[in-house]
């Protein structure tokens, strides 16, 4: 089995599949199914997300996972930013209601907070920062945004998080009503990693060339 080259600072298998597909066929000699792994497979710790920006959290996670594993590391941090709330929930999106990962409670609280806000003032964006860090100290971060607005009620049963109440710009559907393929084609995360792709390819190629 080929030795791992790249580790994703996440235990989310969906994110790992996305990354493997993004890199498949992009780097000669890279076996994405064995050389691109997740943090659990690498035996890496879970970094504490204690920075105050998406970029800060993503870079911290990538830096710490790279240091712990000796591999090139990728990380992302993402959330929902509502204009009228000054960018909130922002980095606190996953724990907006006070309990990390309680999607239903987070949505309920956000809908209540914007209950009296008219449609034209419910604009915002999903934001993702994607970062790479190498054992040699190379670091890069890119930001992706999916513009849209907050609906007044849930629609659709796909996706996760705030997807049922977020409607991309120029659409009449919530993100939860998009297929996985449709969502991946426009998502903030896909945009961020696509921007980072040339750096990922260059760093992976260096490692493969030195082996």
Residue 69 has what pLDDT? 96
Q: Would you say residue 210 has pLDDT above 90?
A: no
Q: Is 195 annotated as a binding residue?
A: no
206 is in an annotated binding site: no
Per-residue pLDDT reduced to its tens digit, 8-65 = 999 888 788 888 888 999 999 999 999 999 999 999 988 999 999 999 999 999 999 9
Residue 191: exposure state from Cβ atoms within 10 A (0-12, 13-18, ≥19): buried
- Concerning whether 83 is annotated as a catalytic residue, the answer is no
Q: What is the pLDDT of residue 193?
A: 93
- CA atoms of 36 and 3, how far apart (whole Å): 9
Q: Nearest to residue 134, comparing CAs of 88, 43, 81, 67?
A: 67
**Is the predicted pLDDT of residue 139 greater than 80, yes or no?**
yes
Token pair of 24 as six digits: 């498949």
User: What are 111-130's pLDDT values in tens digits?
Assistant: 999 999 999 999 999 999 99
Does 183 belong to an annotated binding site? yes
pTM of the entire predicted model: 0.91
Q: Is 162 annotated as a binding residue?
A: yes
Residue 11 annotated as part of some ligand binding site: yes
Domains of the chain: 6-210 (3.90.950.10)
Q: What is the CA radius of gyration of the chain?
A: 18
pLDDT of residue 159: 84
Please write the tens of the pLDDT for every residue from 145-191: 999 999 999 999 988 899 999 999 999 999 999 998 899 889 999 99
Residue 210 labelled as part of a binding site: no
Per-residue confidence (pLDDT) for residue 140, from 0 to 100: 97
Q: Which two tokens stand for residue 54?
A: 């998406």
Q: Which one of the listed residues 33, 38, 77, 103 is annotated catalytic?
A: 77
What is the structure's pLDDT at 101?
84
């Amino acid at each position: 089995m080929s030795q791992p080259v790249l580790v994703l600072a996440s235990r989310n298998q969906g994110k790992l599949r996305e990354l493997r597909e993004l890199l498949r066929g992009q780097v000669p000699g890279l076996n994405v199914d064995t050389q691109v792994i997740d943090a659990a497979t690498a035996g890496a710790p879970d970094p504490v997300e204690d920075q105050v920006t998406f970029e800060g959290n993503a870079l911290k996670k990538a830096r710490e996972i790279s240091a712990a594993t000796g591999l090139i590391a990728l990380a992302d941090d993402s959330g929902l930013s509502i204009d009228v709330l000054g960018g909130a929930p922002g980095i606190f999106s996953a724990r907006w209601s006070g309990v990390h990962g309680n999607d239903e409670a987070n949505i309920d609280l956000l809908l209540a907070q914007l209950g009296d806000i008219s449609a034209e003032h419910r604009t915002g964006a999903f934001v993702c920062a994607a970062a790479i860090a190498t054992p040699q100290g190379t670091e890069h971060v890119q930001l992706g945004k999916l513009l849209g607005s907050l609906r007044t009620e849930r629609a659709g049963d796909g996706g996760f998080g705030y997807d049922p109440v977020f409607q991309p710009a120029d659409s009449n559907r919530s993100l939860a009503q998009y297929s996985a393929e449709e969502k991946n084609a426009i998502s903030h995360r896909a945009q961020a990693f696509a921007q980072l792709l040339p750096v990922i390819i260059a760093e992976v190629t260096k490692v493969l060339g030195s082996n």
